Amino acid sequence: MITTRLPTRIRKLLLAAGVIATTGLAVPTTQAFDLPDMGSSADAVMSTGAEQKLGKAFMRSVRESLKIVDDPTLINYIENLGQSLVAADPEATGNFTFFLIDEPVVNAFAGPGGYIGVYAGLVLAAETESELAAVMAHEIAHVTQRHLMRSIEEQSKMSIPATALLIAAAILGAQVSSDAGVAAIAGIQAAALQRQINFTRDNEKEADRLGIATLANAGFDPYAMAGFFEKLTKSSRLYANNAPEFLRTHPVNSNRIADALGRADDHGARQRPDSLGFQLTRANLRQRAYSRAQLSVDHFRKTLREGRLRSEIAERYGYALALERAGNLSQAKKLTNALLSAKPSQAEFIILDARLDRKMGKAKQAVEMLRQATSLASDQWPLRVAYAEALLDAGRPNKAIDELTTVARLRPGNAFLYDMLEQAAMKAGNRAATHRFRAEKLYAEGDLEPAIRQLEFALRNRDIPYHDAARIQARLDAWKEEERDQKRDEKGRNRGEGRTG
């Protein structure tokens, strides 16, 4: 288990679990949570719009609890894989957001609003891309069948922030250290809620069935799900009480594995080679997993020397990243040049080479290289972000803002991009834009009230152009209306609780 410390908000929620158990769920604190009939309509519990708001609030808690990966190349891979599976699922509608968590945990989870988290440890544990896709397809099925929404009818009577915190505590509670100041009884209740909400036997069986069909439709090996389950089960026998988190949150037995094999038989075997993107992602996550850069360098040097590797080009990429991290830029540059000779259009290699140039004081060279690359592959947003970073290093913040604004239009609501835009506006000396982008970042992270304050600060700048002021005012009006709606909803819930009390 990881030892990430729970944030104050979730710790307080868990410490108040006894109160929640008696008021929100109407059961004694000493009993397990008695959740409603799983056959109830999810749409009757919560509208899609309310679920999206709940998802944003949930993600705010996740960001406070866990380290979310912000490397564009890693994000791009996991998003592309996730969206290819969504496209292959005929029942998948609405928005799905896939994100990576930089922790060595072998697990994944589906939160409200289509937010699906994948741990770095899971990517590294998956020996094939089909195995990784199997777990992600399983989580997509949890979303399409609205398993979570069908299980929180009682909690839906609470405010959205409180419900989001409860769900976050339930999903993440089993994956944090018990020394985080959480009372033992609260931890037990959170774990019990987590098991009952997300991973009932029927839900798991349904997610397996639909996930296997999605795997086959997307061209992956449908047998990968049963194979991965079996591999994790065997490894858990070797480590006794230190079983992978996936098995703790998604209980697997011989019947479930047999059923998954039977489902795969309906589709037949599919042989699909792993993509280079999968191998490069694993190499990047592997080098990040080492606490010290030199350990990472030693690992890749050894695997390359001994030939214990699945993809030599990916292993050399990991080695170059490790050398960069260790400060050996010249050797990393030599390796990267060789990688580019073999794959001149590979975005990961172009970005690494440009970053090395920047670190070696060659920002203009990096800018020119990335300018050419983005002109040839304008749809590759990680390249455009790297281009903006190089422009900032070269002292061209306004051009960087133009580039990042284009990417932000294609990827609305991305907190990472707005953080970069804020930095660029600050370097450009544009105070109004700095406040505006900071506001967008806060809003994307679910912090509505401070986001509103930042827009108000932006409008106080006297030198702000008229059109910019009009756009900011329109955004401010929309957010204030959203804030009023939230307060009306909160008052309505409070009145309802007063009547029932």
Q: Active-site positions?
A: 139, 208
Q: Which residues pair with 117 in a beta bridge?
A: 99, 109
H/E stretch holding 122 reads helix 120-125
418: tokens are 């707005």
Q: Is 315 annotated as a binding residue?
A: no
CA 101 to centroid of chain Cα atoms: 6
**Tokens 């949150």, residue?**
249
- The CB density around residue 338, as the number of other CB atoms within 10 Å, is 13
Contact 319, 335 (CB under 8 A): yes
Contact 105, 121 (CB under 8 A): yes
* C-alpha to C-alpha distance for 446 and 479, rounded to whole angstroms: 12
* C-alpha to C-alpha distance for 99 and 247, rounded to whole angstroms: 21
CA 32 to centroid of chain Cα atoms: 30
List the one residue out of 10, 413, 344, 382 whose CA is nearest residue 176.
Answer: 10
* C-alpha to C-alpha distance for 326 and 338, rounded to whole angstroms: 19
26: tokens are 């109407």
Q: Is 449 annotated as a binding residue?
A: no
User: Cα–Cα distances in Å, from 337 out to 181, 191, 224, 317?
Assistant: 50, 50, 36, 11
Who contacts 145 (Cβ-Cβ below 8 Å, separation ≥6)?
91, 203, 206, 207, 210
Q: Is 204 annotated as a binding residue?
A: yes
Who contacts 118 (Cβ-Cβ below 8 Å, separation ≥6)?
78, 98, 99, 100, 101, 108, 132, 135, 136
**Tokens 């037949």, residue?**
268
> Side chain identity at 132, as an amino acid letter?
L
Could you tell me how many helices (H) and strands (E) the chain has, helices first? 25, 3
Strands 115-119 and 108-110: antiparallel
SS (H, E, C) 294-356: HHHHHHHHHHHHHCCCCCHHHHHHHHHHHHHHHCCHHHHHHHHHHHHHHCCCCHHHHHHHHHH
Phi–psi pair at 42, nearest 5 degrees: -65, -35
Residue numbering of the annotated binding site: 138, 142, 204
Residue numbering of the annotated binding site for Zn(2+): 138, 142, 204
